[in-house]
Amino acid sequence: MPQLHVKSLISLVLVAIAGAACSTSPTGRSQVVLKNEQELAVESARQFAEMKANMPLETDRAKIDYIHCVAQAVVMELPPEYRDLEWEMAIFQSDAVNAFAMPGGKIGVMTGILKAAQNQDQLAAVIGHEIAHVTARHANERASRGSFSNVGVQVAAVLLGGGHQGATYSAYEALQAGAALGIMLPFSRSQESEADVIGLEYMAKAGFDPRESVPLWQNMGQEAEQAPAEFLSTHPSSEKRIDQLVGQFGPTLKLYNEAKQAGKTPSCSM
């Protein structure tokens, strides 16, 4: 059984590598991705290690064990090629309402996310969503699209900081360091919506209630200091996102009920 190696990180940075190929995402969407997944994973590991070395890590054992419990349950429901990775998780002391996952099996969680993810099911929705970006190869696809301007870097840093002042400067610095390598942030709306769908499937298969994704995003909306119009953001609006999530309850509740019948009853708490 694979285990998450918990240490305790802050933002998301990935590199673009030459050589793209056409592919299909898990939901059937056409995408262009890089051929060399291993190179991307190696660079992600390097960036992940650098951030861990420079960002404050969480030391509260109860928080660490709680987040690890949820993440471990979700990871066990991934497709074999991802489930069998040596996943590593870093938990950062930060007020930012945020989390991320990187190619090669890296997960970063800011403790500020617990303000919005108020129970294990809501946290599973967050982690399932972020891991779905990896399994759908969104970072790979994004890295194939080219580079961005300094303005884009600043916007991405604000998004990584969850709209809060805390951690925004560090996120900006990390993005600036990787900009020369062709890093592309943030994810597109279509990728965000796709990660929602795939993430719901993962959490439901693990025995977490997918219906809790709705109050999660309601909480996220309340935590946001400012909600830009949808066309100004790569994220779907909260209302549209919730409508899309509710539209997935048919198949995901079926998976959830099957998981419960199979004895999958996560009990993660602080």
Catalytic site residues? 130
Alpha-carbon torsion angle 31, 32, 34, 37, nearest 10 = 10
Question: H-helix or E-strand containing 6?
Answer: strand 5-6
Backbone torsions φ then ψ of 33, nearest 5 degrees: -130, 165
Please report the beta strands in 41-170, taking only residues with DSSP state E, as ranges in sequence order.
88-92, 99-102, 106-110
CB atoms within 10 A of CB 123: 27
Q: How far apart are CA 130 and CA 124, in angstroms?
A: 10
What six digits make up the tokens of 104? 């090669």
